[in-house]
A and B are shown apart, each in its own frame.
Chain A
């Protein structure tokens, strides 16, 4: 099946710093990628839809200046958490739609962010 690679797997940073998370589709081109946030033992909350070559579409309540999304190529989307604070600590997961895969999503392995 299609492979989505997400890096880093975990990151610890100081409050006030920015963190970039990469999501790559390794064997297919993804015009659309999705970014989710997950709290412990909770469901996935959609943060934004990332479209190649255009601005991301953010869900209600998600600060676009806080969570910068760039989808500069058909195989790479990045999420930058700017000026991170402890409340931003969470598990972030990306996913992508594979063109021939129908409606199912292929997920990255997730990034655990801990802000001290």
Chain B
């Protein structure tokens, strides 16, 4: 079953705007990761946040984690047309032997 549910399912914004995607999960986690997938391609790791962390930055990416609400958000600032892709959150549950469970994904379209 799906561990994570993402919101929104699809998001369309203008270049330069910020994009925010949310992810909710159900079980206790060791860490939460965000991945990006271009159409018909494999996934690329973006950022990992551990269960004892609340916020993390990497370039134009900002990730927050609220373990009390079992939710995370990914913010992409100053978006570019090249950011158009599907974004997935994935969780490593506590004691899961490093197995990732993926959310349903958000399709982001950045219009030039």
A residues at B contact (CB < 8 Å)? 4, 6, 32, 34, 36, 41-46, 49, 91, 93, 95, 97, 102-110, 112
Contacts and interface: CB of A to CB of B under 8 A. Distances in A.
Contacts of B101: 46
Interface of B: 2, 30-31, 33, 35, 40-45, 48, 88, 92, 97-105, 107
Given A32-B98, A34-B99, A43-B103, A109 B41 contact: yes
Given A43-B88, A44-B88, A105 B45 contact: yes
A contact face: mostly helix, strand, loop, or mixed: strand
Contact of B98 (A91, A97, A109): A97
Contacts of B35: 107
Contact of B48 (A6, A43, A49, A102): A102
Contacts of B2: 43
Contacts of A34: 99-100
